[in-house]
Structure 1
Amino acid sequence: MSAPSSSTWDRRSVLRAAAGLAALGPLAACGGNTGREGGGSSGKGLVQYFHAYGEAGTQEAIKRYAKAYDKARVTTQWITGNNFESKLFSSLLTDNAPDVFEFHPQLQLIKSGQVAPLDDILGPVKDDFNPADITSHTVDGKVYGVRMIDDPQFFFYRKSILEKAGVGVPQTLDELAETAGRLTTDKVKGLFIGNNMVSTNYALVWAAGADQLDDKNEIAYHTDDVAAALKVYRKMFTSGHLLLDAPADYWDPSALVQGLTAIQWCGMWAMPVMQKALGDDLGIFPFPAAAPGAEPAVYNGGWSMFVNAKGKNVDLAKEYVKWLWIDQKKYQEDWALSYGFHIPPRQSIAASATELKSGLPAEGVKLFTDYGRFDNISWTQAMITALDEVIANAVRKGTDPEKALDTADAKVNRELKKLFG
């Protein structure tokens, strides 16, 4: 349910396009009576924003849930193409702002007063959520946003291709690079990590034993091991063993399913499609360790529901979020398991999810449990862009990794100063 419908949508780099959080700053107050029937600011109903999920049936499901709510008319804006973020943040500056919207925890949204704390509706069930989903949404003891789905990402591979080449599952980043070479033929590339190679940014840093920021909100990604990992990426980029021009990006399973690559970075959401096409010839493994003593990494994406604190109907919006994403377990289970596979953030729902109890889905849950890492709420859009540029410069252009990291440091430190002084 994380793969978008447009093949132009890049799930990590476009997910938080520069037009989004950069435009926030101190947001103007939203609201005002626009007279829209069912509009969020009209007092007659609520408006919710969703990006266009790629899995069939998702839009119908969200509208079906909303229709079942009997305390207000809920209108869904289903944002297609690659402009979800820009439309969302542009709208938050106007009278047409949504009352509720899906997004990711971002400190700027909280500091600007754009999103409402939801402790009052989360309180009774807070302990039923994955603790990491609560922590990643918490600032100064208050929780902002209700997690809807957890989306672990890892490598999918064709077992038969690895067996034919006589190679095992890579245990280190160096082994991954070597394996990609041994699997590459004149028709199949060994590895696909996305057309612009930034989808694994976080995993690369974590697997090198580092992090984006430390517990003091200071730079933690600039280490010798991260620089060394970037050199391995550069080696893979110049080797000819990477698929770099797939028809759809990493979030879409087609590169592996159509035989364009032997190994693909993707999300658990695509597992049912892959299993249907490839059957038992499908395996998964985490991003392998990239430094001595470091652990493998699994990036946990996912989406959360936020309440617009500057809207006209904050209390009603909170009631709706509570009704759908806290009270209606049948809808939460349907959303997580009926349109691709996702891990329900509610532990009670995850515990009863039979679809995830055996086989490859169970392996995915175990990788998530053992190695899953979550977004850092203090990591802003400008920081995301800075790390993306490290890949563009150090990997694609051949800039010395230390120089590329130094350039990122200057940009990240400027952002940290804005946030924390």
Structure 2
Amino acid sequence: MSALSNSNWNRRTVLRAALGLTAAGGLAACGGNNGRGSGGGSGTNLTQYFHAYGEAGTEQAIKKYAKAYGEANVTTQWITSADFESKLFATLLTDNAPDLFEFHPQIQMIKSGQVADLTDIIEPVKDDFNPADIQSHTVDGKIYGVRMIDDPQFFFYRKSMLDKAGVEVPTTLDELMEAAAKLTTSKVKGLYMGNDLHNVIRPMIWSAGADTLNEKNEIAYHTDGVIEGLKKMRKLFTSGNLLLGAPTESWDPSSLNQGLCAIQFCGMWAMPGIQDALGDDWGVFPFPKTIDSGKQSVYNGGWSMFVNAKGKNVEAAKEYVKWLWIDQKEYQEDWATSYGFHIPPRTSLAESATKLKTGNAAEGVRLFNEFGHFDNIGWTQAMITAHEDVFANCVRKDMDPEAALDKADIAVNRELKKLFG
């Protein structure tokens, strides 16, 4: 769900904390108590951490599911999105650590023994999960984390604005740049990709026919196509056709809905809100080809539930995760489609979710299936930070892209050596 994709955060803070390299105090309670089972719990107390989703009803839904569980008293900490990752990882180092928490698959959490092996609860239903969601949570044949929702991200556009400007839906980055120029007026910017541009880093790489890492966990992003893409992003950044300094980040569709831009990068979660605001005056398209030999791409973000392997109630926490995110299909579909749109990671649910079968939702599912790229569990916070630095240096500040990538290579290779030898 909205609030944060996998790339809006202070990566250095998270990495240090994830590897246990920073001292941290406890976390004050956020979000208040969730309804505990009214006497139905066994006396075991569990705490779960969620970031504050942007869609109305999400907090109430998570607490409703927890209250229905009879085997333990489950309390929910609902944490301000901007603080979520730093508070989560700081608290994991203290006696107040949660028993379970949502996050994204990252190998350093496994290497440091922070998250529990959930293979035994997932294995019986593994074939009903999107294979890419299993792969992105698997290390050495063991599965860590249960995917709750898949969140494809693409460009949303105002049909009427494109029609008026005589602009076709772009399929290449050059066409997107041209469209942004034609769509920009005294009151409207042609394009919004977030204030920090972080959300489009990996799509730009994939659309250049490259990747973050290859199958041998070696650098795969340092290519001529990515260098060309960085030069184009610099040109776009300085063109005056990009919305910068928007009131809300790109996970929130307000800039598109309020007419501040004609095209906005956002996630599938925003579809119901956009429909309410714009009626049928909108459509979606994938990140266009960075270079002619590339391929359009869609980043599949999302959130997964992990069990704290260092917690006091590991088995009880695993039982709750199994109950809610494996057994309770009704709740899983409710979570995926009632508060913004998301694709259920369970194939059976994805196929039966009626709200995703028509209109732009169906188109989003098609783009997800055709162009989707999932998280690579070996692509860590420090590597993400290194790429954010590349954008800061050569897109915002005009550093030579080759030099910026050389600098990133040093940081990424240092991480790879630490993780894989």
Range into which the TM-score falls when normalised by the shorter chain: over 0.9
TM-score under structure 2 normalisation?
A: 0.94
Letter in 2 for 1:169: V
Contact 2:6 2:301 in 1 (8 A): no
1:22 maps onto 2:16 in alignment? yes
Gaps of 5+ in 1: 5-9, 29-36
AA aligned opposite 2:134: I
Cα shift at 1:167: 1.1
Counterpart mapping for 1:23-38 below 5 A:
23-25=17-19
Output aligned runs, 1:42-81, within 5 Å. 44-81=44-81
The separation in 2 between residues aligned to 1:27 and 1:12, in whole angstroms, is: 22
Shift of 1:181: 0.3
Cα deviations by residue, 1:36-63 (Å, 9 ceiling, x for unpaired): x999xxx731000000001000000000
Tell me by how many angstroms 1:12 deviates: 4.2
Contact 1:12–1:198 (Cα < 8 Å) also in 2:
no
Give the counterpart letter for 1:392 in structure 2.
Answer: A
Shift in CA distance, 83/26, structure 1 to aligned 2, threshold 3 Å: closer
Query: 1:143 & 1:318 partners in 2: Cα distance?
Result: 13
Determine the C-alpha separation between the residues in 1 that align with 2:237 and 2:95. 47
Query: What is the letter of the counterpart of residue 20 of structure 1?
Result: V
Tell me the number of residue pairs that the alignment of Structure 1 and Structure 2 aligns: 405
* Counterpart in the other structure of 1:374: 374
Taking the TM superposition and a 5 Å limit, the aligned residue runs for 1:153-164 are 153-164=153-164
Q: 1:102 aligns to what? A: 102
Q: Which runs of 4+ in 1 moved over 6 A?
A: none
Residue 3 of structure 1 aligns to which amino acid in structure 2?
Answer: S
Whether the 8 Å contact between 1:17 and 1:86 is mirrored in structure 2 is no
Q: For residue 176 of structure 1, what is the amino acid of its counterpart?
A: L
What CA deviation, in whole Å up to 9, does each residue of 1:163-216 have, x standing for no partner?
111110011001100110010000000000000111100000000000000111
User: Which residue is equivalent to 1:166?
Assistant: 166
Aligned to 2:2: 3
1:231 corresponds to which residue? 231
RMSD, aligned CA:
1.7
Between the aligned partners of 1:16 and 1:342, the Cα distance in structure 2 is: 25
- Could you give the per-residue CA deviations for residues 91-128 of structure 1, whole angstroms, max 9, x where no partner exists? 11111111110000010000111111111111111100
Match for 1:142: what amino acid?
K
Q: In structure 1, how many angstroms separate the alpha carbons of the residues matched to 2:7 and 2:133?
A: 22
Cα gap change, 1:265/1:416 in structure 2, threshold over 3 Å: closer, same or farther?
same
Q: Distance in 2 between matches of 1:146 and 1:352?
A: 20
Offset of 1:14 from its aligned partner? 3.6
Q: Report the equivalent of 2:399.
A: 399
Q: How do residues 76-87 of structure 1 correspond to structure 2 at under 5 angstroms?
A: 76-87=76-87
Question: Secondary structure of 1:334's match?
Answer: helix
Give the Cα–Cα distance (whole angstroms) in 2 for the partners of residues 199 and 119 of structure 1.
31
Matches within 5 A, 1:353-368: 353-368=353-368
Counterpart contact for 2:6–2:104, Cα < 8 Å: no
Tell me by how many angstroms 1:18 deviates: 2.2
